Amino acid sequence: MREKEKHELNKSLSSNQMQMIALGGTIGVGLFMGSASTIKWTGPSVMLAYALAGFVLYLVMRALGEMLYTNPITGSFADFASEYVHPLAGYLTAWSNIFQFLLVGISEVIAVGTYLQFWWPGFPTWIAGIVVVIMLCLANLVSVKAYGDLETWFSMIKVLTIIFMIIVGLLVIVFGLGNHGRPVGISNLWSHGGFFTGGFNGFMFALSIVIGSYQGIEVVGITAGEAKNPQESIVKSIRSIVWRILIFYIGAIFVIVSIYPWDELGTLGSPFVETFAKIGITFAAGIINFVVVTAALSGCNSGIFSASRMLYTLAQNGDLPPVFKKLSKHKVPYVPVLTMGIGILVGLILNDLLPLFFKSAGDAFVLVYGASVLPGMIPWFVILLSHLNFRKRHQTELVEHPFKMPGAPWSNYFAFIMLLIILGYMFVNPSTRISIFIGVGFELIMVIIYYLSNHGKKTASVAKK
């Protein structure tokens, strides 16, 4: 019993913290700075792309929620994949999550250094990166509560900014605030080439980019094993996803494409900055820059937490040395946290050094970051597959289950097929094709490593019996 307690994580995350973590995982830098690039593919109908992607991810989260309600564990979808699909599926899911968040963490740290140059031109990005990594590692090492508190504040800043931007935008649209009292209206939704400006292919290309902005939404599943009241927290967090998607994504995009003709957004910079500037908030760029810094910090913070718990899960399954499952006195897996911090620092150093030797190193980094999209989708696929087998094995518990997946198993099939179609269009789209190939290459390498390892041999011998 004492040995078991020795390797058990601290359960100190509150329901509110879990909801804010889920919210922080959903809203990233892409919405603040990258929304103009998704709009160019399909125009105002990008709202529907966010809605459709959001609905698919809601189904994925409901499938995860049903399983977590019955068995709230750290590592969640990786453990479910091993148990309900195949040990290889769990192995790939865990490493895909680590790979994804390592790349995201590196890019977010680099982004922080770049954004700080807005106020301090010429400030070395690597110094800012080192400070950020040390600060976030310390927050993750202190306790899971410290991580939750930090993520709550980061999320709150993002949420308040978006709500304020939506309110300001509606005042411009309805009352003409900042437009000499002349209401802008919503005619921009259809008066510049129509609602679907890029046709069906344009919409699907946008959808394949939009889906990436939801990466990290499944982090709430990893936090379940460290929540005070996991069942209650899981239900509240996942149920709130719908209104969060409607308000924060679709609401913000609606305001942007209503105020500005979609074909002008590419020349405006951040649509958020322009919306604030329109009503005379001349320091709008400074506000958004501050918010984007917090969004980048939030992304890196969530990445360190999520990936460290996956390293911990791999150690528990015997796929990493036992040192990775050692806990500090605060019940934090300190070796995985430090490993992620070192990994991000190595990426930060390589980002500065490689351009000295290879002129295209910067472009290569962008490609590798894009490669995180496929590994980021692996957990969604395995959650849907795991859930189908979970239902077959737990029919008795499902009779009185208060948080069932709506429409299962047909909703599973629908979400799975939609993700496959989106992935297919990522292969078709020249902008994302190479990144997907890199992602596929990573998954193949991990499959080979799995079967060459002792773990793979054990699995094969068990299968023969």
Number of Cβ within 10 Å of residue 335's Cβ equals: 21
pTM, entire model: 0.84
Q: Give the closest residue to 379 by CA, choosing from 91, 29, 55, 44.
A: 91
CA dist., res. 176 & res. 172, Å (int) = 4
**Distances, alpha carbon 248 to alpha carbons 240, 252, 286, 305, 384, in Å:** 12, 6, 21, 24, 25
**Distances, alpha carbon 44 to alpha carbons 29, 163, 194, 465, in Å:** 20, 20, 8, 57
pLDDT tens for the chain, 465 residues: list them: 344 445 566 666 676 776 676 666 567 666 666 676 678 888 899 999 989 998 999 999 899 989 988 887 655 788 899 899 999 999 999 999 899 888 888 878 887 887 888 888 888 878 888 999 999 999 889 877 787 888 888 888 888 888 888 888 899 899 888 788 888 899 989 888 888 988 888 899 888 878 877 877 777 777 666 667 777 877 887 887 767 777 788 888 898 889 888 887 765 556 777 777 777 777 777 888 888 888 888 888 888 888 898 899 889 888 899 999 888 888 889 999 999 999 999 888 877 776 666 555 545 445 556 677 888 899 999 999 999 999 999 888 888 888 899 999 999 999 999 999 999 988 888 877 888 888 899 999 999 999 888 655 555 544 444
Cα–Cα–Cα angle for 272, 273, 277, rounded to 5 degrees: 120
DSSP 394: -
CA dist., res. 301 & res. 289, Å (int) = 18
What is the residue extent of each domain of the chain? 2-458
Residue 13 sits at φ, ψ, to 5 deg, of -80, 130
- Residue ranges of the alpha helices (H) in 358-429? 361-370, 373-393, 395-399, 410-428
CA dist., res. 366 & res. 373, Å (int) = 12
CA dist., res. 201 & res. 217, Å (int) = 26
Helices and strands of the chain, counted as H and E runs? 23, 0
CATH match of 2-458 with 1.20.1740.10 = yes
Please give the single-letter amino acid code of residue 126: W
CA dist., res. 172 & res. 263, Å (int) = 19
Q: Give the closest residue to 21 by CA, choosing from 164, 129, 146.
A: 146
